[in-house]
Amino acid sequence: MPRQEAEDAEPSPQLTPGATVPGTHPGDRYIRLVSAADLPLRPVGQGIYIAEPTQPEGPIGRTWCALKRLLIGRPLSTAEAPHERLSKVKALAVFSSDALSSTAYATEEILRVLVLAGMAAYSFVLPIGLAIVLLLAIVVISYRQTIRAYPHGGGTYIVTKDNLGSYPGLVAAAALLTDYVLTVAVSTSAGVAAVTSAFEQLWPLRVELAVAAITLLTIANLRGVRESGTIFALPTYMFIASMYTLLAIGAAAWLGWGVTLHPIPTHVPEPVQPLTLFLVLRAFSSGSAALTGVEAVADGVPAFKPPEAQNARVTLAWMGLILGTLFFGTTILTYHFRLVPTEEETLVSQLARTLVDGSPFYYFVQAATASILFLAANTAFADFPRLAYFLARDRFLPHQFRFQGDRLAFSAGIVVLGVVTSLLVIARGASVSALIPLYAVGVFLAFTMSQTSMVVHWLRLGEGRRPWASLAINGLGAATTAVVTLVIATTKFVHGAWIVVLLIPLLVAMMLGINRHYRHVAEQLRLSPAEIRRRQRPVPRHVAAVVPIASLNRASFRALEYARSIARDVTAVHVASEPESGEILRQRWQEARLDIPLVVVESPYRELIGPLVAIIEKLHLEKGSPFITVVIPEFVPAHWWERLLHTQTAWRLRRALAQIPDLAVTGVPYHLAE
Beta carbon of residue 352, minimum distance to its own copies (angstroms, whole number):
47
Helix or strand (DSSP H, E) at 459: helix 441-460
Helix or strand (DSSP H, E) at 101: helix 88-101
Question: What is each CA distance from 91 to 209, 422, 450, 487, in whole angstroms?
Answer: 29, 29, 22, 32
**31 near its own copies (CB under 8 A):** yes
Cα torsion 453, 455, 460, 464 to 10°: value is 160
**23 near its own copies (CB under 8 A):** yes
SS3 534: helix
Question: What is each CA distance from 421 to 104, 417, 437, in whole angstroms?
Answer: 20, 6, 16
**Contact string 154-193 vs its own copies (x = CB under 8 A):** ----------------------------------------
Distance CA 476, CA 176 (A): 22
Quick check: 416 and 221 in contact, CB under 8 A?
no
- Written as one string, the DSSP assignment of 629-664 is EEEEEEEE-SSGGGGGGS--HHHHHHHHHTTSSSEE
* Residue nearer to its own copies on the CB measure, 494 or 621: 621
* Residue nearer to its own copies on the CB measure, 9 or 277: 9
Q: How many CA atoms within 13 Å lie on the side-chain side of 260? A: 4
* Residue nearer to its own copies on the CB measure, 49 or 254: 49
* Residue nearer to its own copies on the CB measure, 479 or 543: 543
Beta carbon of residue 490, minimum distance to its own copies (angstroms, whole number):
35
Beta carbon of residue 51, minimum distance to its own copies (angstroms, whole number):
3
Per CB under 8 A, which region of 248-256, 281-289, 488-496, 535-543 contacts its own copies? 535-543
**201 near its own copies (CB under 8 A):** no
Beta carbon of residue 64, minimum distance to its own copies (angstroms, whole number):
14
**397, exposed or middle or buried, with CB in 10 Å at 0-12, 13-18, 19+?**
buried
**626 near its own copies (CB under 8 A):** yes
Distance CA 126, CA 458 (A): 36
* Residue nearer to its own copies on the CB measure, 226 or 564: 564
* Residue nearer to its own copies on the CB measure, 196 or 625: 625
Quick check: 417 and 381 in contact, CB under 8 A?
yes
* Residue nearer to its own copies on the CB measure, 44 or 255: 44
- Written as one string, the DSSP assignment of 174-211 is HHHHHHHHHHHHHHHHHHHHHHHHH-GGGGGGHHHHHH
**256 near its own copies (CB under 8 A):** no
Nearest CA among 485, 360, 415, 439 for reference residue 189: 439
Per CB under 8 A, which region of 238-246, 319-327, 365-373, 615-623 contacts its own copies? 615-623
Per CB under 8 A, which region of 160-168, 333-341, 445-453, 522-530 contacts its own copies? 522-530
* Residue nearer to its own copies on the CB measure, 2 or 626: 626
**Contact string 430-459 vs its own copies (x = CB under 8 A):** ------------------------------
Sign of CA dihedral 437, 352, 210, 377: negative
Beta carbon of residue 632, minimum distance to its own copies (angstroms, whole number):
10
Pairing of strands 41-45, 48-51: antiparallel
Backbone φ/ψ region at 606: left (φ over 0), alpha (ψ -120 to 50), beta: left
* C-beta atoms surrounding 453 within 10 Å: 28
CA-atom Rg of the chain in angstroms: 34
* Site size toward its own copies, by CB under 8 A: 139
Beta carbon of residue 661, minimum distance to its own copies (angstroms, whole number):
4
Site residues for its own copies, 369-398, by CB under 8 A, read 398
Site residues for its own copies, 629-648, by CB under 8 A, read 629, 631, 634-637, 642, 644-647
Site residues for its own copies, 278-307, by CB under 8 A, read none
**540 near its own copies (CB under 8 A):** yes
Binding residue (CB under 8 A) for its own copies from 148, 223, 495, 654:
654
Question: What is each CA distance from 151 to 95, 141, 146, 665, in whole angstroms?
Answer: 16, 16, 8, 54
* Residue nearer to its own copies on the CB measure, 241 or 614: 614
Distance CA 66, CA 61 (A): 9
Binding residue (CB under 8 A) for its own copies from 272, 277, 494, 621:
621
Binding residue (CB under 8 A) for its own copies from 19, 20, 47, 272:
47
Beta carbon of residue 420, minimum distance to its own copies (angstroms, whole number):
16
Strand positions, DSSP E, 407-491:
none
Distance CA 40, CA 101 (A): 48
Q: Which residues contact 140 (CB under 8 A, 6 or more apart)?
A: 294, 316, 317, 319, 320
**Contact string 50-89 vs its own copies (x = CB under 8 A):** xxxxx--x-----------------xxxxx----------
Distance CA 212, CA 111 (A): 29
* Residue nearer to its own copies on the CB measure, 88 or 407: 407
Q: Which residues contact 461 (CB under 8 A, 6 or more apart)?
A: 467
* Residue nearer to its own copies on the CB measure, 260 or 536: 536
Residue type, position 571, single letter: T
* Residue nearer to its own copies on the CB measure, 49 or 167: 49
Beta carbon of residue 421, minimum distance to its own copies (angstroms, whole number):
21
Nearest CA among 345, 366, 346, 344 for reference residue 356: 366
Site residues for its own copies, 87-106, by CB under 8 A, read none
**541 near its own copies (CB under 8 A):** yes
* Residue nearer to its own copies on the CB measure, 216 or 656: 656
**509 near its own copies (CB under 8 A):** no
In the chain, the largest separation of any two C-alpha atoms, in whole Å, equals 112
* Residue nearer to its own copies on the CB measure, 274 or 579: 579
Distance CA 187, CA 210 (A): 9
Distance CA 517, CA 523 (A): 10
Binding residue (CB under 8 A) for its own copies from 87, 166, 228, 404:
404
Binding residue (CB under 8 A) for its own copies from 120, 305, 627, 652:
627
Residue type, position 401, single letter: F
Beta carbon of residue 63, minimum distance to its own copies (angstroms, whole number):
17
* Residue nearer to its own copies on the CB measure, 255 or 621: 621
Per CB under 8 A, which region of 161-169, 202-210, 303-311, 521-529 contacts its own copies? 521-529
Beta carbon of residue 557, minimum distance to its own copies (angstroms, whole number):
6
Per CB under 8 A, which region of 134-142, 216-224, 365-373, 399-407 contacts its own copies? 399-407
**6 near its own copies (CB under 8 A):** no
**670 near its own copies (CB under 8 A):** yes
Site residues for its own copies, 553-612, by CB under 8 A, read 553-555, 557, 560-562, 564-567, 575, 578-579, 582, 592-595, 597-607, 610-611
Per CB under 8 A, which region of 189-197, 218-226, 447-455, 539-547 contacts its own copies? 539-547
Quick check: 549 and 570 in contact, CB under 8 A?
no
